[in-house]
Every structure is written in C-alpha cells, then in structure tokens.
Amino acid sequence: MSHSSTPTPPEQVNIDPYAPTAASIQEPPTGFAGSLRYLGPGMVTSAAVVGSGELLTATTLGAQVGFMLLWLVFLSTFVKVAVQIELARWSISTGKAAMTGYDQVPPKIAGRGWISYIGLLMFIQIIIGQGGVLGAAALAMSMILPIGGDPLSVASLGFWIALMVILAIAIHAANKYDIVEKVATVLVLLVTAGAVAMLFGVQFTPFSWSAADLGSGLTFQIAAGAMGVALAMFGMTGVGAGEITAYTYWVVEKGYAAWTGPNDGSEAWAERARGWIRVMKIDAWISWAIYTTSTAAFYVLGAAVLHPQGLIPKGNEVLEVISRIFTDTAGGWVGGIFLIGAAIALFKTILANAPGFARQVTNTLAVFGVFSWTNPAKRDRWMRALVIGLPIIWGLFAIIFRAPLAAVIIAGIGNAMFLMAVVVATLYLNKTETDPRIRGNAPWYVYLWISAIAVFAVGALGLWDQIQKML
C-alpha cells in the first residue's frame, strides 16, 4: 500500500476518525520540522485554558501574594501535561475518546463505569462555569460599548451575550474539527501576543516590574498563610480535567488515530503509532509553552500592578481594576484595548469549550445508551445539536440565573471528583489497553506518577474543601 506524504484529515475524505481502518493509514512525518505541519489539537486546548482561569484567577492570585508564587505557575502547568499526554497516547492507539475509556474503569455500577456517573454530574459544572465565562466576556464588551448607557444593565449585558451566542453558533454549526482548530489557533496567538504586550506595556507605567521581582518569584518559597492560595493556583492553572478529557477528542479528530490505523499486531503498526504519538507530544508541549506564557504574564500583571496597591479584586472586578490602571497611566484608549483583549480571551474559551463539551456530553449520552457512538451520523447530529444548544443555555444562565450555593457546591465537588477520576482512568487504561510496545520509558513513568499523584492530591484537597463548605 502506498502512503501519502501529506496526510489528509479524516473528515475531509469521509473517514470516521473514531473507527480507524486500513484505508485511513498514513505514515507519520520524521523530524521536528516535519511534525510542525500536523499540529493543532494543542491549540484548541490552549484556547480552552487561556481564558477565565488565566485572565481572572491568575491575575487575582498575583494580586494576593505578589511575585512569590510565580514559580508555581510553571510547576503546576508542567506537572499536569504527563496525564494529558498519556491519555492521548491511549486514544491514538485505540481510536477511542475519553468518556468511552472512562466507562471501562471498574467497578461497574448498574452496568456503567463509576466515572460515567461523575460525567453526568459534570453537566452542572459545564453550565455554571461556562455561563460565568460568557457573562464575563459580555461584561468586558459592555464596559467598552454599553447599550443604553449602563454597562451593568440587563439590556446591555443581554445584548452582548446574545451576540456572542449567535457568533459561537455560527462558527461551530458545521461541527468540523478543521474550523475549530483554525479559529482556536488565530485567537490563541492573538491573546498570547496581547498578554505579552500588556506585560511589557506595564513597564511604561508607575507599576513596572524588574528582573529582581521575577527572580524573587522563582525561589520556591511560600509565605505563612499562603498555602491555600498555592493549592488554588495549582488547581486552577494549566490543563484541568475538562481540557485533558477534550484533548482526546481533538487528537482523534485531527487524524492521529486514523492515520495510525487499527492495531493488527504488526511492527509496522507499532512504528506508525510511535510516530504519531511523537507528533502528539510535540503538539502538547508547544501548547504548554503557549498557555504557560500567557498564565505567567497575567500573574505578573496582578503581582506588579494590583499587589502593591493592596487591590485584591473578586471575580470580574479584575477587568475594571486593570483597565483603570492602564486608563489612568496611558490614556483611555489603552484601557479600551485591554478590555477588547479580555473579551476576546474569554470568548475564545467559549469557542473552544462549546465543541469540546458537546463531544464530552454526546459521548456520555452514548455511554448511557441514548444512541450508539459507533453510528457516525447519529453521533454528528447529537454533536451539532449540543454545539448549538450549549451556548444558548450558557447565555440564558449568564442573563437570568444566579446559581444557588448548593448548585455551586455540587459543581465544585463534581469537578474535584472528575479530576481524580481522570488520573485513575489514565493509569488504568495505560495498564490494560495501551499496547506495551508504544508505552513510555522508565523516566517517563516517574514523571507520569509524580504528575498523577500531584493532580490526584489537588483534586482530593479540592473535594475536601467543598465538603467542608457543606458542613
């Protein structure tokens, strides 16, 4: 069989990426430069990561403790990548996506894997979390161009929310991976460049930072009373359970699994699998470099601008406070540019998460027997319906619903449990389904286990914190 030197994405040749066949086999590129042509899933992951978590929480954490925990930004993002890569390795070798794998992890409850029930619980987190992100993006635009005069009015916020929902639906209605990747890549590069520009733009204000400030943040210190903030930062920065889960869908739909082909036990298959896994690793690490750069930039902004003034904004106040800093020191137009950048960063999260969560929810429904995941026509219809329906639900939540404490606590518990479950599932699937010939070496497994233990511990601490709030 001859193989094309430029693999075509499965969706462009009417091949089901979740059902690799001999007809879909393509040889992987050799070398780093050749691999760069086949990257993309990591850009979608970066688009999901660099948004609410980094723009709002990283900036706020920097405001709370100053430069002291800058080192933790790099550590927390670096540690989590191992779980992401290992689960993606399994997806490439089997052609399966995360929720299908999670359902295989024992023990079974009423015929379903226990993690599948946590997947159902995550529907609450999906609605609450993304509704808040959409509301924050609308607030940023409303502060720039309020409708009716009051940026906080229901009319103004409702207008911007509705506009963003319509735009998200228009972009994703076709439910094509290629569209998701292209949009995510452009927006990620814009937001990362904007974050770096803001970081150096501060140097021309009274809140400039120095090399000594950065050095003090890389000395692995934690001040008394800052442990809670440190744990929060570890949990909120870098890839989380949702991004790790979504990454499996993107690596499959990009074509890595289809190009590897079904495992026929041959050495040729193992060689192809190793080649496409190598490409996936490059993709994941470049993604890590991008979202770590953005996260560190936002953290330094909070440490340099807000911390010296004792300003610790809550929630969306980050937008107003930082924009005022730029407005007061460099003119109103700079503050407006920041708000536009903030809106793009937040809305980008919605654009990345709408198709990602649509796939996760669709896969979960298939696990519970609503339809057959192996039926591509039905799978696509469900994905299309959800990629349209989810933004509408998020928009309605952002406009009219204030989450009661109980719902927030349930969502927090689900998120912490899901993070721990992802770690367990990754280790289980690696042991039981990943072909031994394509597993990592000994140093890799040391790194993987350190990553797994750290991520599991943070999930457990987060779960304990949510339970304490209920008592």
pLDDT, residue 454, reads: 85
pLDDT of residue 149 exceeding 80, the answer is: no
259 belongs to a structural domain: no
Are 202 and 209 in contact, with CB atoms under 8 Å apart? yes
Of the pLDDT bands very low, low, confident and very high (cuts 50, 70, 90), residue 271 is: very high
Residue in this structure with the two tokens 């803001």, named with its chain if needed:
198
Of the pLDDT bands very low, low, confident and very high (cuts 50, 70, 90), residue 253 is: very high
pLDDT digit string (tens) for 49-100?
A: 876 556 767 887 888 889 988 998 898 889 889 999 999 999 999 999 999 9
Domain that holds residue 118: 29-253+269-470
pLDDT digit string (tens) for 344-375?
A: 888 888 888 899 999 999 999 999 999 999 99
What backbone torsions phi and psi does residue 108 show, to the nearest 5 degrees?
-90, 145
Cβ atoms within 10 Å of 470's Cβ, excluding its own: 11
pLDDT of residue 206 exceeding 50, the answer is: yes
pTM: 0.89
128 belongs to a structural domain: yes
List helix spans (H) across 28-176.
31-35, 41-49, 59-65, 70-94, 98-102, 114-144, 154-172
pLDDT, residue 151, reads: 82
Are 421 and 72 in contact, with CB atoms under 8 Å apart? no
The separation between CA 145 and the C-alpha centre of its own chain, rounded to angstroms, equals: 29
What amino acid occupies position 272? R
- DSSP H/E element including 243: helix 241-254
Q: Coil, helix or strand for 108? A: strand
Name the pairing type of β-strands 108-109 and 112-113: antiparallel
Of the pLDDT bands very low, low, confident and very high (cuts 50, 70, 90), residue 412 is: low
pLDDT of residue 411 exceeding 70, the answer is: no
pLDDT, residue 4, reads: 46
pLDDT, residue 305, reads: 84
Give the list of residues 6+ apart from residue 181 with CB closer than 8 angstroms, or none. 40, 41, 43, 44, 250, 254
42 belongs to a structural domain: yes
> Percent of the chain having pLDDT more than 70?
85
pLDDT of residue 2 exceeding 60, the answer is: no
pLDDT, residue 182, reads: 92
- Spatial distance between the Cα atoms of 16 and 369, rounded to a whole number of angstroms: 20
Q: For 146-169, what is the mean pLDDT? A: 90
> What secondary structure letter does DSSP report for 438?
G
Give the tokens for residue 58. Answer: 């990283």
444 belongs to a structural domain: yes
17 belongs to a structural domain: no
Cβ atoms within 10 Å of 79's Cβ, excluding its own: 19
What amino acid occupies position 410? I
Cβ atoms within 10 Å of 123's Cβ, excluding its own: 16
pLDDT, residue 404, reads: 41
If one counts the domains in the chain, the total is 1
- Spatial distance between the Cα atoms of 83 and 81, rounded to a whole number of angstroms: 6
For the chain, the maximum distance between any two Cα atoms, rounded to a whole number of angstroms, is: 68
Q: For 404-408, what is the mean pLDDT? A: 45
Of the pLDDT bands very low, low, confident and very high (cuts 50, 70, 90), residue 394 is: very high
CATH number at residue 449: 1.20.1740.10
Q: Which of 349, 344, 342 is nearest to 325 (CA)?
A: 342
pLDDT of residue 273 exceeding 50, the answer is: yes
Least confident stretch, 155-164, 237-246, 365-374: 237-246
pLDDT of residue 408 exceeding 50, the answer is: no
Residue in this structure with the two tokens 């996506």, named with its chain if needed:
97
What amino acid occupies position 137? A
